[in-house]
Amino acid sequence: MSSLLILAIAFVALTVIGTPLFVAVGVTTALALYLIEIPYTLMAQTGYSSLTPFPLLTIPLFVLAGRLMEVGGMANRMIAIATKLVGAYRGSMGLVTVFACMLFAALSGSGPATTAAIGSVTVPAMRKDGYDVPFAAAITASAGALGSLIPPSNLMIIYGLVSETSIPRLFLAGLIPGFLVTVLLMITTYIIARKRGYGGTGHPFSWKPFLNAAWEGKWSIGAPVLILGGIYGGAFTPTEAAGVAVFYALFVGLFIYRELTVEKIVDALRFTALLTGILILLTPTLAFGQLTAFYDVPTAVQQGITSITENPILVMLLIGVFYIFIGTFMESLAQIVLFTAVFLPLAVSLGIDPVLFGVFTVITCEIGFLTPPLGANLTVAARISGVSMERISVAVLPFILAYIIGMVILILIPDLTLFLPDWVYGVAK
């Protein structure tokens, strides 16, 4: 029996019996080291080096900033702005949810965090407005996934570190795809809501209430302007921007809105620790990724796929199908670390830009947020709404289709993704 087959059986067996993913990957990596007689010190060295890159600090800082903005009143004011902007039409509260998630995504960098922050307010509002609760939860879960696409994005940071791709370029590349997917989600929401007769009560759009809400929420809107403007204006790096975001959230929450308390700050720190604890996956998955080179896995994958087709579009679609399938039971962080080393060399050999491949990878991970049994956003939405994950999984299917349509559009028209980073930084060499 070949070593690769033994490792595959070991990994699948550990996963099936419910072993935590970092343990399954770690044990499989240790077994691989034993089979090819490489010292176990590789694990220790990789563990140390995986957690030392300075940009990695960006992730917990953005998660903390997003949580502070949520409990400090900034998320509520964003929802108020979105509500006044949309007005009272069919599906208006669903559209508000998508739009508010898009705004908050520019603060949190995390799909589950965005779902929790916006959904805790909008799901009860949609229930009151007559929405079917699983549908309301599905809107929130799917729109919350925008937190991983619209910059700043934690998954883009991980992809940038693993692939050695410019993080600012990745952030810029996510803007147009983020708006595209937002529009697709809003169209899906409107069509279903109009067909079922949801919403339509309240006051239609008028300028005065919107301008009043915008003025009251000016500090909330100022956050993404400060963060992204500072990065692309050259004032600070993405990591420094995350630190600025935390300071800004504390300042606004304590001295402007005065809704932050010591208890809320402690809760935000606890939430950040729990959510970023998933970074423990980096050590075994990076070591496993290094081992793929010893087993010549990238070359084998490249030969296998190119024997079927060398058309870049078809190759991207094949990889997309694989990513969506694997995302049903694997954490997005592990998915990026493990498979970027396998598929990126193939993509680059076919002339696909690493930045485009990064945005494509993140979109497939977003679909993974919405597919059971793992489905991180589904889990958060189920907790908020009080309905079963199974019912939300059915209601979310039209939104998954919207994401797939967005993914296909970006594969067919790569300039939508690459236009902004190429315009700002020049075409990558």
Q: Is the pLDDT of residue 88 over 70?
A: no
Among 58, 52, 38, 302, which Cα is nearest to 156's?
58
Q: What confidence category does residue 202 fall into, taking pLDDT thresholds of 50, 70 and 90?
A: low
Q: Is the pLDDT of residue 429 over 80?
A: no
Q: Dump pLDDT digits (tens) for 14-27.
A: 877 877 777 888 88
Over the Cα atoms of the chain, what is R_g? 22
What mean pLDDT comes out for the span 229-258?
Answer: 88
Q: What confidence category does residue 205 fall into, taking pLDDT thresholds of 50, 70 and 90?
A: low
Q: How far is CA 172 from the centre of its chain?
A: 15
Q: What is residue 217's predicted lDDT score, i.e. its pLDDT?
A: 80
Residue 375 counted as domain residue: yes
**Domain carrying residue 272:** 55-425
SS (H, E, C) the chain: CCHHHHHHHHHHHHHHCCCCHHHHHHHHHHHHHHHCCCCCHHHHHHHHHHCCCHHHHHHHHHHHHHHHHHHCCHHHHHHHHHHHHHCCCECHHHHHHHHHHHHHHHHHCCHHHHHHHHHHHHHHHHHHCCCCHHHHHHHHHHHHHHHHCCCCCHHHHHHHHHHCCCHHHHHHHCHHHHHHHHHHHHHHHHHHHHHHCCECCCCCCCHHHHHHHHHHCHHHHHHHHHHHHHHHCCCCCHHHHHHHHHHHHHHHHHHHCCCCCHHHHHHHHHHHHHHHHHHHHHHHHHHHHHHHHHCCHHHHHHHHHHCCCCCHHHHHHHHHHHHHHHCCCCCHHHHHHHHHHHHHHHHHHCCCCHHHHHHHHHHHHHHHHCCCCCCHHHHHHHHHHCCCHHHHHHHCHHHHHHHHHHHHHHHHCCHHHHHHHHHHHCCCC
Residue 47 counted as domain residue: no
Residue 100 or 314, more confident: 314
Whether 69 and 28 share a structural domain: no
Crossing angle between the packed helical segments 133-144 and 376-385, to the nearest 10 degrees: 140
Q: Is the pLDDT of residue 428 over 70?
A: no
Residue 48 counted as domain residue: no
Whether 116 and 15 share a structural domain: no
Whether 263 and 182 share a structural domain: yes
Alpha-carbon gap, residue 315 to 347, rounded angstroms: 8
Q: What is residue 375's predicted lDDT score, i.e. its pLDDT?
A: 80
Q: How many CB atoms lie within 10 A of CB 10?
A: 16
Q: Dump pLDDT digits (tens) for 99-138.
A: 888 888 877 777 888 888 888 888 988 888 888 999 999 9
Crossing angle between the packed helical segments 175-196 and 415-425, to the nearest 10 degrees: 140
What mean pLDDT comes out for the span 176-189?
Answer: 94
Whether 346 and 309 share a structural domain: yes
Q: Which amino acid belongs to residue 291?
A: L
Residue 302 or 323, more confident: 323
Number of folded domains that form the chain: 2
Whether 136 and 216 share a structural domain: yes
Q: Is the pLDDT of residue 1 over 70?
A: no
Alpha-carbon gap, residue 23 to 292, rounded angstroms: 18
Among 324, 360, 365, which Cα is nearest to 111's?
365
Whether 403 and 378 share a structural domain: yes
Q: Which amino acid belongs to residue 58?
A: T
Residues in CB range of 44: below 8 A, 6 or more apart: none
Whether 248 and 191 share a structural domain: yes
What mean pLDDT comes out for the span 222-246?
Answer: 85
Which residue reads 């900034």 in tokens? 74
What mean pLDDT comes out for the span 355-375?
Answer: 89
Residue 290 counted as domain residue: yes
Residue 7 counted as domain residue: yes
Residue 50 counted as domain residue: no
Q: What is residue 115's predicted lDDT score, i.e. its pLDDT?
A: 87
Q: Dump pLDDT digits (tens) for 261-282.
A: 999 999 999 988 887 777 777 7
Whether 70 and 124 share a structural domain: yes
* Residue 184 CA: distances (Å) to CA of 98, 131, 179, 300: 10, 20, 9, 37
Whether 1 and 133 share a structural domain: no
Among 198, 21, 244, 7, which Cα is nearest to 97's?
198
Whether 26 and 148 share a structural domain: no
For residues 64 and 166, is the Cβ–Cβ distance under 8 A?
A: no
Q: What is residue 204's predicted lDDT score, i.e. its pLDDT?
A: 67
Residue 183 or 54, more confident: 183
Q: Is the pLDDT of residue 387 over 80?
A: yes
The percentage of residues in the chain with a pLDDT greater than 90, rounded to a whole number, is 29
Q: What confidence category does residue 83 fall into, taking pLDDT thresholds of 50, 70 and 90?
A: confident
Residue 279 counted as domain residue: yes
Whether 72 and 25 share a structural domain: no
Q: Is the pLDDT of residue 90 over 80?
A: no
Q: What confidence category does residue 361 fall into, taking pLDDT thresholds of 50, 70 and 90?
A: very high
Q: How far is CA 64 from the centre of its chain?
A: 16
Q: Is the pLDDT of residue 251 over 90?
A: yes
Q: What confidence category does residue 87 fall into, taking pLDDT thresholds of 50, 70 and 90?
A: low
Alpha-carbon gap, residue 124 to 9, rounded angstroms: 45
Q: Is the pLDDT of residue 408 over 60?
A: yes
Q: What confidence category does residue 283 fall into, taking pLDDT thresholds of 50, 70 and 90?
A: confident
Residue 43 counted as domain residue: no
pTM for the full model? Answer: 0.85
**Mean pLDDT over each residue of the chain, to the nearest integer:** 85
Whether 73 and 12 share a structural domain: no
Between 41-45, 150-154, 364-368, 390-394, the lowest mean confidence (pLDDT) is in 41-45
Alpha-carbon gap, residue 82 to 19, rounded angstroms: 42
What mean pLDDT comes out for the span 31-41?
Answer: 80
Q: What is residue 203's predicted lDDT score, i.e. its pLDDT?
A: 63
Among 117, 92, 302, which Cα is nearest to 201's?
92
